[in-house]
Amino acid sequence: MAVAVVRDVVRDRDELLEGIEQIYRRRYPAFLRVAVAITRDEQSGADAVQDAFVGIVRSRQGLRSRLALEAFVWRAVVNAARDRRAIRAEAGEPPELAAPTAAEPEEWVRQAIAELPERQRLVLFLRYFADLDYAEIGRVMQVRPGTVAAALNAGRAAVKESLEREEAAAWRS
Amino acid sequence: MAVVDEVREALEQAVPDFSDRSGDWASVFALAQAGEGDRPGRAGASQSRRRRGLIALAVAVLVVVVATASAFGTVRNLILGSPSASAGSPVWSPDGRRIAYIVSRGSRNSLYVMNADGSKQRRLARNEVDYPRAQWSPDGRRIAFLRGVRLDGGNWKADLYVVNPNGSELRNLGGHPGAWSLYAWSPDGRLIAFTRERGELAVMNADGSGMRVLARGGSPAWSPDGRRIAFTDAYSTVWVMNADASAKRRLTQGGEVGSLRWSPDGRKILLYCLKCAGDSTSRFNSRLSGWGEIYVMNADGSGLRNLTRDPHAARCCPEWSPDGRKIAFATTERGGEIVVMNADGSGKRTLADGYAQVWSPDGRKLAFESDRSGKGEIHVMNVDGSGQRNLSR
């Protein structure tokens, strides 16, 4: 039985490799953008995408369904970005992107997004940059679609509230 | 402005746009092929140091550009407003007058067709169209493609579909092909060979009826006369059999062979092979880690020969020219380049940056996919590399 499974997996290897390469080529900017949103550092984000795909290519024998491949890839990118962020945190390296500075006019926008709980922030990026639907985001984050919807609504509301608050402040000034 | 637009805009201002980046697949592939001792994290860190200077420069340029654009209120136009569509996997109609291709928008793929000059782009099937590329029937009257079907409970299954080139008569042929299943019309257009989910090589009539399993295996390729089918078995070795499943015969041993292509005269077979090594023998050495190489052998398995033999780049997807005198393939060198060589491997010439190349039926042009503009687009060129033209615009 185990031998039969291995045979099936080996047969699909080359076809899967071509599929993985196509996803990488087509979606690289979106992968990089979401990874940078997590790591808050451009180089760490690029390294995370690379880590994820190296791991996927190496372990593609374990992939059984092409139709879930993109969600699988996104999950790998998100996990790799979290790992990279942890490595940076352990090394005490400060974030190089999305770190508000007083001199920048969009400080409050970045601040609002940075203050979101990680789940809400990640759902927003996956929805708007990766263009994944609720079910796909659920597969990436391994939560139910209902949880995705709730996190998305909460994230939107938080950003909206921040926008309105800052616009009111700007109007008053 | 709707909340959705406001949130999207806020996100765009929070993270730079990288739509001009294309990644480095060659490095990914090389690291994946390296020994287990080369952990991705450490390799990535090493690359970090080498790339840091260039990245810093790129970030500086990006900051200047965005700051300048902000001053004129054009950030939203400059920065990606929504996931842009990417076109790829072109395939010519048998009469050379049209090209079918796949458009990806986010995670959704749709099947399109256009005239060979790029005019009259038309969507034939939307969403969940799957790779590999679509396949025209030999008479050009139908296009077969894979499509995912969402089941209750969130699971998926794929089916083979056909549609007329004008978008009419979309029909599910069933079949439950496996992941990334390669499939092929028989030369007379009466049958479609494909791989089922459980690793069974099957054929069905062009209307979806009469499905029957011929062998364990995949990657079917019909001989030009339609009498034989070459395929790979569960161990990715190459076999050939008669179209009625009789007279199965193994042609190679070892290695990991992917797609197969019969020469137009039916006398030779091209192999795209991972981890293949060796020469002038039908025994590959699968212990040697290597790159995707292109081999050719006689249709009886004799005379195996490596046509690429270059340690610097992975190669993919070789295609015979219609007259059988040339072979086009893609390499991951510098992010993807299209190379044409003579059928004996001599005279290699890089023609363009791109991949997924296909010959026009008259052998005078190549259609291909390129992301030189930052997103995938369909291009055509003459077979000497001249006259390159973007059909997606």
Give the model's confidence band at B280: pLDDT under 50 very low, under 70 low, under 90 confident, else very high: very low
Residue with the larger pLDDT of the pair B248 and B284:
B248
Model pLDDT, residue B94: 97
Averaged pLDDT score across all residues of chain B: 76
Picking from B28, B106, B182, the nearest residue to A15 by CB comes out as B182
- Taking the C-alpha atoms of residue B292 and residue B312, their distance in angstroms, rounded to an integer, is 10
A129 touches chain B (CB under 8 A): yes
- Taking the C-alpha atoms of residue B113 and residue B120, their distance in angstroms, rounded to an integer, is 8
Does residue B340 form part of some domain?
Answer: no
Calculate helix-pair angle for A69-91, A42-58, nearest 10 degrees: 130
Does residue B136 form part of some domain?
Answer: no
Model pLDDT, residue B132: 65
Which chain A residue lies closest to B372 (C-alpha atoms)? Answer: A25
Residue A133 CB neighbours (<10 A): 15
Give the 3-state DSSP-derived string for chain B, with helices as H, strands as E and coil as C: CCHHHHHHHHHHHHCCCCCCCCCCHHHHHHHHHCCCCCCHHHHHHHHHHHHHHHHHHHHHHHHHHHHHHHHCCCHHHHCCCCCCCEEEEEEECCCCCEEEEEEEECCEEEEEEEECCCCCCEEEECCCEEEEEEEECCCCCCEEEEEEEECCCCCEEEEEEEECCCCCCCEEEECCECCCCCEEECCCCCEEEEEECCCEEEEEECCCCCCEEEEECEEEEECCCCCEEEEECCCCCEEEEECCCCCCEECCECCEEEEEEECCCCCEEEEEEECCCCCCCCECCCCCCCCCEEEEEECCCCCCEECCCCCCCCEEEEEECCCCCEEEEEECHHHCEEEEEECCCCCCEEEEECEEEEECCCCCEEEEEECCCCCCEEEEEECCCCCCEECCC
Give the model's confidence band at B356: pLDDT under 50 very low, under 70 low, under 90 confident, else very high: confident
Does residue B158 form part of some domain?
Answer: no
* Residues contacting B182, CB < 8 A, separation 6+: A15, B132, B194, B195, B218, B219, B220, B259
- Residue numbers in A near B19 (CB within 8 A): 29
Does residue B73 form part of some domain?
Answer: yes
Averaged pLDDT score across all residues of chain A: 71
Does residue B138 form part of some domain?
Answer: no
* CA angle (B358, B116, B143) in 5-degree steps: 70
Q: Is the pLDDT assigned to residue B220 strictly greater than 50?
A: yes
Which chain B residue lies closest to A139 (C-alpha atoms)? Answer: B154
Picking from B18, B157, B234, the nearest residue to A33 by CB comes out as B18
Q: Is the pLDDT assigned to residue A65 strictly greater than 90?
A: no
Task: Give B307-326 pLDDT, tens digit per residue.
Answer: 887 655 566 778 999 999 99
Does residue B107 form part of some domain?
Answer: no
Q: Answer yes or no: are the C-beta atoms of B135 and B146 closer than 8 Å.
A: no
Structural domain boundaries enclosing B65: 1-13+52-82
Which domains are seen in chain A, by residue range?
A: 1-99 (no CATH), 102-173 (1.10.10.10)
pTM above 0.90, yes or no: no
* Number of domains within chain B: 1
Percent of chain B with pLDDT over 90: 41
Model pLDDT, residue B254: 66
**Beta-carbon contacts below 8 Å between A and B:** 224
Does residue B119 form part of some domain?
Answer: no
DSSP single-letter state for residue A143 = S
Task: Give B205-219 pLDDT, tens digit per residue.
Answer: 999 999 999 998 878
For residue B90, is the peptide bond before it cis, meaning its omega torsion is within 30 degrees of 0?
A: no
Model pLDDT, residue B15: 73
Model pLDDT, residue B41: 35
Model pLDDT, residue B4: 62
Residue B77 CB neighbours (<10 A): 9
A166 touches chain B (CB under 8 A): no
B371, A68: Cβ pair inside 8 Å? no
Residue with the larger pLDDT of the pair A122 and A69:
A122
* Residues contacting B39, CB < 8 A, separation 6+: none
* Residues contacting A102, CB < 8 A, separation 6+: none
Task: Give A95-129 pLDDT, tens digit per residue.
Answer: 544 444 444 445 666 667 777 777 788 888 888 77
Give the model's confidence band at B84: pLDDT under 50 very low, under 70 low, under 90 confident, else very high: low
Residue with the larger pLDDT of the pair B104 and A68:
B104
Does residue B57 form part of some domain?
Answer: yes
